[in-house]
Amino acid sequence: MIAPDTPLRRKSDVRFRHIPPETLVIRQAGPEVLVLNGVGGRILELLDAGTTAGAVIDALHGEFDDSDGSLEREALAFLDQLLDAGVLEVHGG
Amino acid sequence: MTFAATYLREPDLFPARIAGEPWGPQSLVVDFAGGPYVFHGLDEAQADALRRRYAPFSRPTGARVEATVRCDAFRLAPEELRPADLRGVELTFDRDYAPAAVRMAGHDLLARLEWRSEVLSAGFWTSTPAPASFHGALENVFRALVAYRALALGGALLHSAGVLVDGSPPLGVVACGPSGAGKSTLSRLAQRHGLGLASDDLNMVLPAERGAVLAPVPFAGDREPGGWPERPLPLAAVCRLAQGTDERLEPLPRAVAAASLAACSPTVNADPFRADRLLANLDRLVHSTPAYRLTFALDGGAADLLRRATR
């Protein structure tokens, strides 16, 4: 389970390209391909250099509406899915 | 596991450069999009068999040909190979990617691809002298070479059915899908209803002044090779295949279409040094060419759906 202080980065075999409004992701070890929505693509971009889940969430707060207060929960759940899918890895910990 | 350890007794002895003992003095020129592709080091029987197999793309070797792609065939000593029981085994390859080279190893097959200025060069080693088996091994390397040339030209080589819809010139539709999605079935249905076929296995798509083209390549899957279109044809649509009873043709979002095509781009889609270029090429393709999800039934109207995709 990912927590806000979990350090994350994109796995080295993952490539992506924004094709608005979505983002195409290819996991070359498979190879497998995924399509993420705009927010998912932005999360991948934020993680490109390696950062924590919390830093990603902070950045999303500045860019997306969170009037119902669900952004953090949904972002953490989504990061968990990306981790399970082999798109992300925990690093440096 | 160490690269090539499944196939070689001494994987560290994988050829470090393109050199070895050729099978013979014969050469073969095969010319289509991305080429000419020139093969050297063949014996007479191998060259004759390949010339027949790749007709009408084969060219006389007497005239001087500037190769865009050069592939040299070499002998591999059988004792270098690790014994393998191939019963019930799906043949795969080890691949090792580097910025300026790609290595491949498989059953009785080693290959090294190198980018040298404007020429893509390859060495291909096998212990198989018989023309039929030799061709099987060589074609695995040939397909990889063509995939990289398609990439360099801004396009892609796609595992797909390439269907030609009536017109003057005919219009191409490329239908992609994973193994078992129905490429061969769609190809048979299309032919049964009067449509032409470029290939039921691999097709090259390239950017053109207006949109994209389907460029013929001499690779066939389940059908007898031959009957290729003589020149590149306008590409009217790309499709992602699905089988089902509720036949339909639905527009695909561009990212989904590009994802489908990326999944069907052999060799290149697993290359960490060239995948970004593949995604850029596919991005451009799905912006210039309509993309659909094509759901068809075994006894239905696939040909009509393919015609509709060209309108």
- What is the reported pLDDT for B9? 94
pLDDT at B63 over 80: no
pLDDT at B120 over 80: yes
Q: Per the CB < 8 Å rule, is A22 touching B256?
A: yes
Amino acid in the structure at residue A69: G
**Mean pLDDT of all residues in chain B?**
91
The pTM score is 0.92
Least trusted range by pLDDT, from B32-46, B141-155, B201-215, B295-309: B295-309
* B230 — pLDDT class (breaks 50, 70, 90): confident
- What is the reported pLDDT for B46? 95
Residues of chain A with C-beta less than 8 angstroms from the C-beta of B255: 19, 21-24, 35
- What is the reported pLDDT for A90? 92
Q: Per the CB < 8 Å rule, is B258 touching A17?
A: yes
Residues of chain B with C-beta less than 8 angstroms from the C-beta of A44: none
Residue B116 and residue B98 in contact, taking contact as beta carbons nearer than 8 Å: no
Amino acid in the structure at residue B57: F
- What is the reported pLDDT for B224? 64
pLDDT at A47 over 70: yes
- What is the reported pLDDT for B223? 66
ipTM score over 0.85, yes or no: no
Q: What is the mean pLDDT of residues B155-164?
A: 96
Q: What is the mean pLDDT of residues B166-188?
A: 89
Give the gap in angstroms from C-alpha A89 to the nearest C-alpha of chain B.
18
Of B93, B252, B279, which to mutate for an interface test with A (greatest number of A Cβ within 10 Å)? Answer: B279
- What is the reported pLDDT for B66? 77
Least trusted range by pLDDT, from B65-69, B142-146, B193-197, B286-290: B65-69
Instruction: Give the Cα separation of B192 and B215 in Å (integer).
Output: 23
* B125 — pLDDT class (breaks 50, 70, 90): very high
Instruction: Give the Cα separation of B31 and B34 in Å (integer).
Output: 8
- The residues near B123 (Cβ < 8 Å, ≥ 6 apart) are B15, B17, B18, B19, B20, B71, B72, B74, B111, B112
Q: What is the mean pLDDT of residues B187-214?
A: 93
Q: Per the CB < 8 Å rule, is B276 touching A26?
A: no
Q: What is the mean pLDDT of residues A20-48?
A: 90
Closest-approach residue (CA) in chain B for A12: B272
* B222 — pLDDT class (breaks 50, 70, 90): low
pLDDT digits (tens, 9 = 90+) for A4-30: 899 999 999 999 999 999 999 999 887
pLDDT digits (tens, 9 = 90+) for A79-89: 999 999 999 99
- Name which of B255, B270, B271 is nearest A24 (Cβ-Cβ): B255
Output the six-digit token pair for B68: 């865009």
Residue B137 and residue B74 in contact, taking contact as beta carbons nearer than 8 Å: no
Q: What is the mean pLDDT of residues B255-271?
A: 94
pLDDT at B126 over 70: yes
Residue B197 bridge partners (DSSP):
B163
Give the gap in angstroms from C-alpha A3 to the nearest C-alpha of chain B.
30
Beta strands in chain B (DSSP E): 26-30, 37-42, 58-59, 69-75, 94-98, 101-106, 109-116, 119-126, 156-165, 171-176, 196-199, 202-207, 212-215, 233-243, 248-251, 291-296
Instruction: Give the Cα separation of B51 and B143 in Å (integer).
Output: 16
- What is the reported pLDDT for B89? 67
- What is the reported pLDDT for B251? 96
pLDDT digits (tens, 9 = 90+) for A48-75: 878 999 999 999 999 988 899 899 999 9
Output the six-digit token pair for A31: 């190879």
pLDDT at B153 over 60: yes
Instruction: Give the Cα separation of B279 and B272 in Å (integer).
Output: 12
* B86 — pLDDT class (breaks 50, 70, 90): low
